[in-house]
Amino acid sequence: MKAVHTELHRSHDPQFFLVRGVVKRTTEQPERADRLLKGLKDGRHQLVEPKTFGQGPRARIHSPEYLSFLSEAWDAWTALGDSGPEMIGNIHPVRHAATYPTHIVGKLGWHTADTAAPIGPGTWAAACAATDVAVTAAQMVMDGEDAVYALCRPPGHHAYRDMAGGFCFLNNSAIAAAHLRQKHERVVILDVDVHHGNGTQGIFYARPDVYTISIHADPVAYYPYVWGYAHERGEGPGLGTNLNIPLPIGTGDDGYLQALDIARKAIESFAPGALVVALGLDASEHDPLKGLAVTTPGFRRIGQAIAKMSLPTVLVQEGGYLSDILGANLTSVLAGFEDAR
């Protein structure tokens, strides 16, 4: 399997992370990509540089106001003269009878769902590069590759049409799916990250053409807390094309594979032309965010199960944070996929 990667992700190096009132360094560090890259090299995957697709693919998913905000945010922030080293909102309006703000502090609050997506001087460039990685992988699949892996950083599945959150700014998996829609009438996004793909769900919640499925740690006691429940099934024309499978904290390999089989049956019924896998590796038993307990051999089984769905597949990197096993887990899931194909 070929893998798309760029070193441009390094311009995004966030520091701030608020955990239960304690400020720590974020777990979404550039070193993540280094460890994932080692996993690719250990698996002997051919690395491909992304092509530049411009704003078009991003504009299919994200609002003009949001894209304008992200592209101009850092310059407007530094122009204040008394601003901090990263952009972190101090307001988060719920938008009831609200007016879109003109001040950068207001826009920052409007366009961020939480404090876990600090914006720095290189965030916009890195986020755009990540979307190019995802779209390049999708285009390669459209052009005939059976499956392609996209090493995207920063990740994307918590990003809504017009909001950043949870380390995410532009929704790489959603952008890949929209690109695949140019060829395929129906596409599925299968999110196997330990966190619910709330941004992806929000983007496609009323659309019948993209089926969003998320297997994740139960949000009763885990981020994002207010989305990711089983009763969330879509709305309007999209009713029935959203499936959430929340799992008890600490679920291991067998429980995870049972959930994946439920997802498989739903995907078969939808009969899509292509599949996007939002490939979080943070369901690992060794991940620092401690939600689920999938082993390295378990990731191989997950890869095998996904491959057996026999669909053109784009695997887009989402979470998976700093642990000694991160690269090995990527090697394992991709090897399992190749085993079954």
Write out the catalytic residue numbers.
Answer: 158
Query: What is the b/e burial string over 278-304, where b = at least 16 CB atoms within 10 angstroms of the residue's CB?
Result: bbbbbbbbbbebebbbbbbebbbbbbb
Place of tokens 């085993």: 339
Asked if 140 and 148 touch (Cβ cutoff 8 Å), the reply is: yes
Give the full edge-to-edge strand order of the sheet including 210-217.
47-48, 2-4, 147-150, 313-317, 274-279, 187-191, 210-217, 242-247
Place of tokens 């720095």: 120
User: β-strand 16-19 against 22-25: which pairing, if any?
Assistant: antiparallel
Name which of 245, 252, 251 is nearest 296 in CA terms.
252
Asked if 319 and 193 touch (Cβ cutoff 8 Å), the reply is: yes
Asked if 125 and 11 touch (Cβ cutoff 8 Å), the reply is: yes
Angstrom distance (rounded) from CA 76 to CA 249: 41
